[in-house]
Structure 1
Amino acid sequence: MTVHVVDASDVFWTIVLILLPIYLWRRISTLQTRRPLELRSVTIVVLGDIGRSPRMMYHAESFAKDGFETTIVGYKGTTPTPSLLTAPGIRFQYLSTPPKLPGKLFVLFAPIKVAVQLLSLVYALIVVGRPPEFILVQNPPSIPTLAIVQLASWLRGSKLIIDWHNLGYSILALKLGQNHFLVRIAKWFERTFGRSAYAHLFVTNAMKERLVHDWDLQGLKIVLHDRPPTRFHRASATEAHELFLRIPPFLPTLSSDFAPSVHPPRSTIRTTVESGHASSLGADVFSDSSSPVASFRPDRPALVISSTSWTEDEDFGILINALKMYELEAKRRATANQRTKSSLPRLLMVVTGKGPLRDSYMQRVLGLEKSEKWQWVRCRSMWVEAADYPLLLGASDLGVSLHSSSSALDLPMKVVDMFGCGLPVCALDFACLDELVQDGQNGLVFTSADQLANQLMELLSGFPAEKTKLDQLRSHFDASEGPRTSSAHRTWLSWEENWNAVIKPLL
């Protein structure tokens, strides 16, 4: 259901941002009487693209499987996961897209965007539909979401659950600075309207401890670590072959001196099928259980993958500099004719995701490939639909995480997904990363481009013919149990198992 709202145009919304929730609270409470709750129902609020909010999509599926009538309120954009689209008892209520903010006039136009979001949420959560038993909201973004869901839960008698992914004011501080007046307002707003709820969910123990101590949160307080759903797994050569036949957009830009020759449907850049079986391949490759089995090519490049939102909290420059160092070292070893166990493979770096900084970073790296005549490294960006993303992770050799966390209290979902596919990672270090990545066990931790470059060389030397350090890291993953973790996480549960153990008791 699309909601049409009136566009506002005045900067006085900076003041309205503070006063309007209070006014609405007093005004609407005198006009609206509470209607009976619709039991076993939940409204999930995502003030963002629903299809790019994996944790909230997983929540929605879990609620629906538990018998809840589930409404997802958010923006239409990226296609949600197929399992969510086909799940019974789920409906989507789309909000009107707010105006885009001009970069140089962010402070001036931000209140207008907030006003549009506020009006959309008021209509979606307070005016239409029957009151849900639970309202689950993703935070951030905090403004105006937290104020509206507090108002809606109070007016409609719903139980509010806040899922703390990060701190909204800390993300704003990346753009404006810690001491900016809007950052101070955002922190006050987030603390004030996020303090009380039926339950608070946290993605890390560190976030729970900080917010309980500093903000004195009221309500049940529970850590729900991110975990991938069961569809995330290590891909077989057959699955990888089918995938690379479907998504080859970067292949035309890979020169013949870098990539092995490709002859679809018999071969891809990573896999091959015996020539005698090629004629049996069609649009639905391997859909028949009797179809031929693919194998990984011995001349394949190493496939390293990273997923990013292309925003300020991930420094892609670290990766570019590390790739430059890898290229130089690979050239040096090739020139010295070191065709030994220490030789380096060609490295195909694939970066998935959408975001505002994508074009500038990709122009930079493509310029380096051309000006410095890279022979051993290629870096390409692509968007992968939700159905193919787990397969791409499962078909890769190594993951890279550049997530630095604006609050140092959340964990990168991309690493969780990679672990679900048995994929070791090189991850940028920050305060609570050790709740997920144990250095030297399921991945390596770096703090600089130099360190990342050395890790890439260490893990990939001798690939794919020789036994490598990468194989040792991969041995810490088991298809049935997931990655071995520290005593803080004695078991690695799937999302479904974790949700049933942690959330169902609340309901």
Structure 2
Amino acid sequence: MTSDTVLSLQILSLAAFCFVVWKVVRQPVERASFRSVAILVLGDIGRSPRMMYHSESFAENGFETYIVGNKGSKPVPSLLSIPRVHFLYLPDAPSTLGLPFILSAPRKVLLQVFSILNALLYRIPHPPEYIVVQNPPSIPTLALVWLVSKLRGSKVIIDWHNLGYSILALKLGNEHPFVKAAKWFESYFGRSAYAHLFVTNAMKEHLVKEWNLQGQKIVLHDRPPGHFHRTSPSEIHELFQRLGPPLDTNAIRDFLPSSTAPYSTPFTKTSSQPSKYPTTLELDGEFDSSPMPSQREDRPALLISSTSWTPDEDFSILLKALGLYEEKARARNEIEIDESKEGSLPKVLMVVTGKGPDREKYMNEVGRLQEDWRWVRCVSMWLEPQDYPLILGSADLGISLHSSSSALDLPMKVVDMFGCGLPVCALDFACLDELVHDGVNGLVFHNAQELATQIASLLTSFPNSPTLTALRKSLERSEQNAARWEWSTWSENWNTVMKPLITHNVNN
């Protein structure tokens, strides 16, 4: 099944279906139900954090909230506990049952179209006041919500994460007929929404100018949820006891400092013995006999990168940089004589989270490379929603390889890292400066050589690196930082920017 054929079938099937529904069915417009919203995600709901945060914010502001999307990864725990949130799962793609492509592909496309319309028109008992749709993907969702808004009187809000046609152009090229068709589709059905949300100022300016968007236009930058924080030693200790299996391979086990559960992990340790000389509190019976974990001085530096393993993130840059760091660590540590380790470089454990099509290819390459590495190891993990912020808050440095197919969106992974007090090294692209301020909350690189140099510079004399400590302090929310603090939680930002849009008219 080629991407050309799938796209053409989607466009043709959707156009024919919309024409039939609009001309034949054409029922009277219903009155939308006050204080209700449908959130449409064409994909795994649990892997769409921004849309889950939208859902939680709507529900917390009194909206009956219907999330329409595919079942897969677990949604964030907080979303599951809100009574006003209802999950309307779409069916998985049917098996081909041995059918030829010419029959199975249209069947898949039509099932997708009908299942979305069934959810928006019938499974939601009353017409929702708002329909919030994630873009991309653009096809078929933008046309379907346009149609539903005509039939049910709902107001459409498009959340522009990126541009769908630009992602398709990565495979087919900008001049391909199907890329041009996808661009027309996206611009036509996306133009006349009630409101448009943008993840960057650059995207807002571009789309308003190029596509003449109608309706209200608001920039809603990504922000981390309120529970994201720097992970405490006790939390790190518990986390790495749970994360045992991904680290329990010969290549990783022999690389990490030895540990004995439950008293130590490769990153933390506890004292299993009470103190020799009791304190006053201990003599008064207020002594807590359970030892408190602390971070090990001999721990490796923990680096983390979150990726969807897709072509818009060039993982080869990270592999080259890790190889160059290996060379730097060997050269520097072999001549290091001072036992204080001033100027030395630590071992590095690189954790890569996420799922995607290129994962197996790159992790096979990692396996070959690290057979000769002494100072670097790389492991891939998939984390549950409750563990993801904990590992971000446990890490020493984040790496972002996001390059943006449109150069108009920003990597949410960096937002999450900042929310956990984790400075980043980020690959540069057009509007990155809306998020990463070079030398303040992170460093910006352009190639593998620059990234390797930055990692070595930040990790020199680890775990007491002054450069890394300075970057981390810039992310602390404190009285000293109040004058230049730019960050808020998702909820604070949503209530400031988004809430006025849905409670009264906003003139834009």
Q: Normalization by structure 1: what TM-score?
A: 0.90
Q: Which residue of 2 aligns with 1:280?
A: none
Correspondences of 1:350-361 after superposition (within 5 Å):
350-361=351-362
Q: Which residue of 2 aligns with 1:365?
A: 366
1:218 and 2:214 are equivalent in the alignment: yes
- Counterpart selection for 2:78 from 75, 79, 83: 83
Checking the alignment, whether the CA contact within 8 Å between 2:9 and 2:109 is kept in structure 1 is no
1:125 and 2:120 are equivalent in the alignment: yes
Change in Cα spacing, 1:202 to 1:338, as seen in structure 2 (3 Å) is: farther
Correspondences of 1:200-279 after superposition (within 5 Å):
200-253=196-249, 254-255=251-252, 257-276=254-273
Deviation string, structure 1 residues 56-75 (Cα, Å, up to 9, x no partner) = 00000001100110000000
Q: Which residue of 2 aligns with 1:346?
A: 347
Report the residue type matching 2:344 in the other structure. S
Q: Which residue of 2 aligns with 1:64?
A: 59
Deviation string, structure 1 residues 320-373 (Cα, Å, up to 9, x no partner) = 000000111111122223544221100000000001110000000111112xx2
Partner of 1:26, secondary structure, is helix
Change in Cα spacing, 1:91 to 1:322, as seen in structure 2 (3 Å) is: same
Q: Which residue of 1 aligns with 2:12?
A: 15
Whole-angstrom distance in 2 between the partners of 1:173 and 1:295? 49
Q: Which residue of 1 aligns with 2:392?
A: 393
Cα drift, residue 257 of structure 1 = 4.8
295-304 or 237-246: bigger deviation: 237-246
Q: Which residue of 2 aligns with 1:473?
A: 471
Cα drift, residue 141 of structure 1 = 0.4
Checking the alignment, whether the CA contact within 8 Å between 1:437 and 1:443 is kept in structure 2 is yes
Partner of 1:183, secondary structure, is helix
Partner of 2:208, secondary structure, is helix
Number of aligned residues: 479
Cα drift, residue 107 of structure 1 = 12
Checking the alignment, whether the CA contact within 8 Å between 1:234 and 1:479 is kept in structure 2 is no
Partner of 1:196, secondary structure, is coil
Cα drift, residue 429 of structure 1 = 0.4
Cα drift, residue 35 of structure 1 = 3.4
Whole-angstrom distance in 2 between the partners of 1:347 and 1:107? 50
Deviation string, structure 1 residues 29-68 (Cα, Å, up to 9, x no partner) = 1xx2333322110000000100000000000000110011
Whole-angstrom distance in 2 between the partners of 1:10 and 1:173? 12
Deviation string, structure 1 residues 424-473 (Cα, Å, up to 9, x no partner) = 00000000000000000000000100010000100001101x33311111
Partner of 2:54, secondary structure, is helix
Partner of 2:370, secondary structure, is helix
Change in Cα spacing, 1:414 to 1:97, as seen in structure 2 (3 Å) is: same
1:494 and 2:489 are equivalent in the alignment: yes
Whole-angstrom distance in 2 between the partners of 1:76 and 1:114? 18
Correspondences of 1:291-330 after superposition (within 5 Å):
291-330=290-329
Whole-angstrom distance in 2 between the partners of 1:94 and 1:142? 19
Report the residue type matching 1:52 in the other structure. R
Q: Which residue of 1 aligns with 2:462?
A: 463
Cα drift, residue 270 of structure 1 = 0.5
Partner of 1:410, secondary structure, is coil
Q: Which residue of 1 aligns with 2:111?
A: 116
Cα drift, residue 154 of structure 1 = 1.3
Change in Cα spacing, 1:38 to 1:433, as seen in structure 2 (3 Å) is: same
Partner of 1:57, secondary structure, is helix
Cα drift, residue 88 of structure 1 = 1.8
Unaligned stretches of 5+ residues in structure 2: 275-286, 503-508
- Counterpart selection for 1:157 from 153, 168, 171: 153
Cα drift, residue 124 of structure 1 = 1.2
1:40 and 2:35 are equivalent in the alignment: yes
Partner of 1:454, secondary structure, is helix
Partner of 1:211, secondary structure, is helix
Change in Cα spacing, 1:313 to 1:495, as seen in structure 2 (3 Å) is: same
Whole-angstrom distance in 2 between the partners of 1:308 and 1:435? 20
Q: Which residue of 1 aligns with 2:168?
A: 172
Partner of 1:45, secondary structure, is strand
Deviation string, structure 1 residues 288-343 (Cα, Å, up to 9, x no partner) = 99843210000000000000000111000000000000111111122223544221
Partner of 1:311, secondary structure, is coil
Deviation string, structure 1 residues 199-230 (Cα, Å, up to 9, x no partner) = 10000000000000000000000000000011
Unaligned stretches of 5+ residues in structure 1: 1-7, 278-287
Correspondences of 1:394-409 after superposition (within 5 Å):
394-409=393-408
Q: Normalization by structure 2: what TM-score?
A: 0.89
Partner of 2:309, secondary structure, is coil
Cα drift, residue 20 of structure 1 = 2.9
Report the residue type matching 1:471 in the other structure. T
Partner of 1:39, secondary structure, is strand
Identity percentage over the alignment? Answer: 60
Checking the alignment, whether the CA contact within 8 Å between 2:44 and 2:71 is kept in structure 1 is yes
Correspondences of 1:278-289 after superposition (within 5 Å):
none
Whole-angstrom distance in 1 between the partners of 2:458 and 2:383? 26
